[in-house]
Amino acid sequence: MASIVERPKKSGETTYQVKWRQDGAWQTENFGGDQGADQAEQFKGLVEAHDNKWPFGWIRGKGFVEPEVHPDDAPFLAWAHRYVDRLTGVEARTKRDYRRDIDNHFASLLHAGPDGVERWYGGLVHTLRDGSFNPATVCTTTEDDVQDWVRVQEEGVRDPGHPDRWLVRKASPKSIANRHGLLFCIFQAAVDAPQPLRMTNPCAKTKLPRTDDQTEEEMVFLEHDEYARISAELRAFDPKAADLCDFLVGTGLRWGEITALQVRDVSTRRKTISIQRAWRRQEDNTFAVGPPKTKKARRLIALSEGQMELLRHHMLGRRPEDWIFRGRDGAAWRHSNFYNRKWKRALDEAIKKGLTKRPRMHDLRHTHVAWLIGANIPLPAIQARLGHESITTTVDRYGHLVRFLDVEIASAVEAAMSLPAPRKLRQVS
């Protein structure tokens, strides 16, 4: 076992010395400065993880130097697939998506240019000192290699021989962030291994494109009259489809949640619905009912009397396990079918008649939030209603809408400041 000894200096600073026995002889390493205590604790853990030996690649007094060759180094792609294979508590479809990202976005493409010379394009590669590339390994990948990968993802790569073709297509900031998150976890597994392959994660300091700069998946918020136009078009040819969308925009449910609602999930006495399940896409692209998206997605949602009346109409004569919102054959609606047969048709008609926005069905959830914020409902209450795991998600996604309340906020501050001071705080003349 290693230990840490504090050694005060005359200057007032403290040095933290890590001590341990290796092959019968005492070994020491010193750490100072503001981060000295934390660095000593981390190094102590590394020594113990290496069976009370110097960590591989550590230079005494200088720190860890990432080795070019490690006895247990592995090709990055092999390690990445091994990481996914060993994951537990993860759905099969999620693992399939991870493997797809590894093969499509981390693997490099060997492509012959106009000169006939084959070169590596895209993917995660290790840049050598002479500027050439090698396929990445767990230990040789550097922070610069990861940053180069991000740049290629952001800019894309055109075929040198056919500039109109893409060897690597541009990715959105959100897609890059998601893929980088997987990359981080893969390398962190190498850092956290019982016998660590690396001391640091090369993804820890990566600068990613700002996700708030992208516009391709911009949220659409509808005013009440704008949604009413779409609802009216829906109701003109399918009142039940209009009811489903009215309930979506009135509750903020996800599509997979509303279509998994069963009669037994409704409490007519409490005027609530219980979200207990959601449709989930499976590894073979079929759908099955499973748990909601997150733990906090299991929730109770309070309903208005109008919403309860809508549900009573749809529940009449049905069994507890029957779907509330369903197609003609009694089966649950599929998103693609509903979108193409109902939503798109109504939206196109509304646009012909003057609607200037083209919302997706998921924008009804965003619209619900905008209406709640406009009614001065606090964000923590909105978080609970939406089933977000963290308030951070709610703030990051919808916090900018609070600016619409600037007038109300300013009025509240002015009213508070104009109140007379408490008696005990008044000056005595």
Q: Would you state the pLDDT for residue 202?
A: 94
CA 38 – CA 50 distance, rounded (Å): 19
Q: Please, what is the Cα angle at 174 between 224 and 109, to 5 degrees?
A: 145
| pLDDT-flagged residues of the chain (< 70) | 56-57, 64-69, 110-113, 115-121, 130, 211-217, 283, 400, 402-429
CA 245 – CA 258 distance, rounded (Å): 10
Q: Would you state the pLDDT for residue 429?
A: 44
Q: Architecture of 224-408 per CATH?
A: Orthogonal Bundle (1.10)
| Burial class of residue 8 (count of CB atoms within 10 Å of its CB; 0-12, 13-18, 19+) | exposed
Contacts of 384 (CB under 8 A, 6+ apart): 296, 299
Contacts of 410 (CB under 8 A, 6+ apart): none
CA 104 – CA 179 distance, rounded (Å): 11
CA 2 – CA 202 distance, rounded (Å): 27
Domain with CATH 1.10.443.10 in the chain: 224-408
From residue 427, alpha-carbon distances to 100, 415, 416, 418, 421 in Å are 71, 22, 19, 17, 10
Exposed e or buried b for every residue in 188-204, given b needs 16+ CB within 10 A? Answer: ebbeeeeebbbbebbbe
Contacts of 285 (CB under 8 A, 6+ apart): none
CB-CB neighbours of 381 under 10 Å: 11
Q: Is residue 275 within 8 Å of 265, Cβ to Cβ? A: yes
CA-closest candidate to residue 143, choices 126, 165, 161:
126
Q: Would you state the pLDDT for residue 411?
A: 58
Q: Is residue 2 within 8 Å of 22, Cβ to Cβ? A: no
In the three-class reduction of DSSP (H, G, I as helix; E, B as strand; rest coil), residue 215 is classed as: coil
| DSSP codes, 245-308 | HHHHHHH---HHHHTT-BGGGEETTTTEEEE--EEEE-TTS-EEEE--SSGGGSEEEE--HHHH
CB-CB neighbours of 166 under 10 Å: 13
CA-closest candidate to residue 109, choices 123, 95, 127:
123
What residues does 20 pair with on adjacent strands?
27
Q: Is residue 233 within 8 Å of 350, Cβ to Cβ? A: yes
Q: Is residue 217 within 8 Å of 314, Cβ to Cβ? A: no
Q: Which two tokens stand for residue 192?
A: 């956290």
pLDDT tens profile 333-358: 999 999 999 999 999 999 999 999 99
Q: Would you state the pLDDT for residue 72?
A: 82
Q: Which two tokens stand for residue 19?
A: 């001590």
CB-CB neighbours of 233 under 10 Å: 23
Q: Is residue 379 within 8 Å of 391, Cβ to Cβ? A: yes
Q: Would you state the pLDDT for residue 100?
A: 92
CA 282 – CA 286 distance, rounded (Å): 5
Pairing of strands 133-135, 125-127: antiparallel
